[in-house]
Amino acid sequence: MSDLPLTRAPAHLRQGSSIGQPVTRHDGPLKVTGAARYAADHHPAGMLHAALAVSSIARGRVSFLDLPAALAHPGVVAVMTPANRPALAEDPDAKTHPFMFRMDVLQNDRVRYANQPIAVVIAESLEAATEGAALLAPRYEAEAAQADLAAAEVFTPPAVGPGHPAAMAHGDTAAGLAAAARRISVTYETPAQYHNAMEPHAIVAAWDGDRLAIDTPTQGLAMLRGRLAGLFGLPAENIRIRSPFLGGGFGSKGLASGPLVLGILAARLVGRPVKLVLRREQMFGPVGHRAPTRQTLELGTDADGALTALRHHTLTATSAFDDFIEPASNASHALYASPAIATSHAAVRLDTGTPMFMRAPGEAPGSIALESAMDEMAEVCGMDPLEFRLKNYAETEPMSGKPFSSKALRECYAQGAARFGWAGRPRAPRQMRDAAGLLVGWGMGTAIFPALMFQGEARATIRRDGSGMVEIAASDMGQGAWTALAQIAADSLGLDPARLDFRSGSSDLPDGGIAGGSAHTATAGAAIHAAGAETIARLAALATADGRSPLYGAGNAGVIARDGRLFRRDDENRSESYADILARAGLAEIAGAGSGAMEPAAQAGYAMHAHGAVFAEVKVDPALGQIRATRLVGAFAAGRIINPRLVRSQYYGGMIWGVSFALHERAVLDKRSGRVINANLADYHVPVNADIPALEAMLVEEHDPHVNALGIKGVGEIAITGSAGAVANAVWHATGYRPRHFPITPDHLLGAPG
């Protein structure tokens, strides 16, 4: 495998720190010119192509495969089935931690869901492999599939999400509801959704004895390497995974999946490199999805509109053979002040692939229900939706009672409302029309997402010519991580960004943690910051101990690193370049390592969240029920902003997903067969350019001294929360119809009043 590309900032960047500057993406030219190589772009010598044969039933066993027909097809080299699949060192159905999921890798002939891999055809060309898979003509012993959320047996899960309690409470919600002057009980339903990144799952795998080289898109290089090392019984250092470019992930590329492992097994079976790329319809099954939910919220208020109790219960689904429970009710833990809050979850088992982490897991479906319920409660109280939210503003985290590490939500409300023009909104629905006679509605929603941080490591080097290099196994799936992290790296080493090489995207580099939970910039950035500080400290020790240096004896006063030089803190007229320090010491380079993780004391003492407010305008054709989102304004506070250009891009992406959640996106499950019947991008609707309104994302200033050393909070997922609810509430304001089933489609509105 060739070396990874090194990224370097454009030479025209100003000297000094680039943190806070709207630097353009370093990888942009590579992508727009086609020079960026994604996993499926790799073609090692002797490579074969693999195609999956997948089940057309959701439950039962494979009773027949026409192996002779497939093997006789020109170009077919081998067919991998449970009968000849190479052995694994670990049981793929074993689970030893919450981030490990059972996978289907031809361990037997059982079928657990539709689109499950049942064989792999390996051939000299993709066409031959695809045709060979079709020739297998499988037959089944089918069993009745359970695919109906309403009909399956309900159970109480031991945990939700990555190990959170299934039920939590503070205060007496029964008493709070009984004492309420006004109360509502409402139920909302959200559908199953599938990740559908532009780049499907893919792998190019090559064995060299007991060493394994892989090109695959992954959000967590070190985590994936560890999982594969266990499955194949290899030392982790024998596996090299390259993943410099990802065409989107949204959570589905965070953990090892069955198709990825099958690609590696296929390469072992034939003794040649193998490429396996999922077809679009095969993305609906073995690589995760967001489960459907049915959420019931009960809210009570006193006569003045202050909440007396909030109860949030979620019924959701997991697979018949594994557990991932969408933690939707947890969206009610941290947002609105109430003396009593209770959240709970129940689940059913369906014959589907296992749900998994999908962008804003729990928060996305939970917030559209919570924000819709808050609007319904505001209407019952005769209050403006923003006024009602401010009435119930939480000064401390409601569920835990912890103080917030920082919270600028009031400023988000004020700035977003002013920019949107919220003060001109009539309270009653169906009061506004445009010149064409379309109904116009305005809605809002509050955005919130936890400020998470994982463990990460990095290495920083200053070279004899005064340039620098930072290395970290980080993932850039389109969010601009390479650019933002390089900005942090240049700042930590006191270098002009154009003098820094940034190397990333390979598992043989220091573990940068997983790109998930909106935690990547904080995690990898903190590690890079620490590595740079360690490198500068080592360089300073050389200079201040050398009597020939102008910095000699500055140990107590200290030095400052800037523009490739060290300056005495007490006398900036005395300085020396990095190159001169290393040359005099006879060193080619000097390096340091660093790690980053959230401080346990800060985590225990503070509630850490990013906040925001989203305001939406929709227009609805009163005769046809057609809905268009026409304008969204979001105001967000997320601590220190490394690159405002990239942050706005992330906010836009979240707001677009919110529009998609409210108006477009759902997987339709055939309750008889258990198959997703719209498993393609023609029928599984996601927004296109024409569906997206004018977007504006405002960056509200916020300083957080507790969340981490750099004061960074994540921005990737927060804008989904708030946005979907804002659109739904705007539909009510336009039409008088209260959406409780998502996505909202024209047939929902045909019975709206007026």
Indicate the SS3 state at residue 1.
Answer: coil
Nearest to 644 by CA among 11, 4, 23: 23
Q: State how far the Cα of 218 lies from the Cα of 202, in Å rounded to an integer.
A: 10
pLDDT reported for residue 597: 87
Active site residue ranges: 717
Span 209-265, pLDDT tens digits: 999 999 999 999 999 999 999 999 999 999 999 999 999 999 999 999 999 999 999
pLDDT reported for residue 6: 67
Calculate what percentage of the chain has a pLDDT beyond 70.
97
Confidence of residue 98 (pLDDT cuts 50, 70, 90): confident
Inform me whether the pLDDT recorded for 2 exceeds 50. no
- Tell me if 11 sits within 8 A of 498, measured CB to CB: yes
pLDDT reported for residue 11: 46
Inform me whether the pLDDT recorded for 703 exceeds 70. yes
- Burial (CB < 10 A; 0-12, 13-18, 19+), residue 583, is middle
Confidence of residue 557 (pLDDT cuts 50, 70, 90): confident
Specify which residues 590 forms β-bridges with. 462
pLDDT reported for residue 96: 82
pLDDT reported for residue 17: 74
Query: Region 10-29: what's the mean pLDDT?
Result: 75
Cβ atoms < 10 Å from Cβ of 704: 25
Domains of the chain, earliest start first: 28-36+454-597 (3.30.365.10), 402-452+598-754 (3.30.365.10)
- Tell me if 378 sits within 8 A of 432, measured CB to CB: no
Query: Region 718-739: what's the mean pLDDT?
Result: 98
pLDDT reported for residue 598: 82
pLDDT reported for residue 435: 97
Q: State how far the Cα of 39 lies from the Cα of 36, in Å rounded to an integer.
A: 10
Helix residue ranges per DSSP H, 496-643: 520-544, 578-585, 600-605
Span 632-669, pLDDT tens digits: 999 999 999 999 999 999 999 999 999 999 999 999 99
Say which range, 93-102, 317-326, 456-465, has the weakest mean pLDDT.
93-102
* Residues with Cβ within 8 Å of residue 78, at least 6 apart in sequence: 71, 121, 122, 266, 269, 270
Confidence of residue 8 (pLDDT cuts 50, 70, 90): low
pLDDT reported for residue 15: 45
Query: Region 502-519: what's the mean pLDDT?
Result: 96
Query: Region 336-345: what's the mean pLDDT?
Result: 98
Inform me whether the pLDDT recorded for 752 exceeds 70. no
Q: Are strands 76-80 and 48-54 parallel, antiparallel or unpaired?
A: unpaired
Query: Region 306-332: what's the mean pLDDT?
Result: 98
How high does pLDDT run on average in the chain? 95
Confidence of residue 10 (pLDDT cuts 50, 70, 90): low
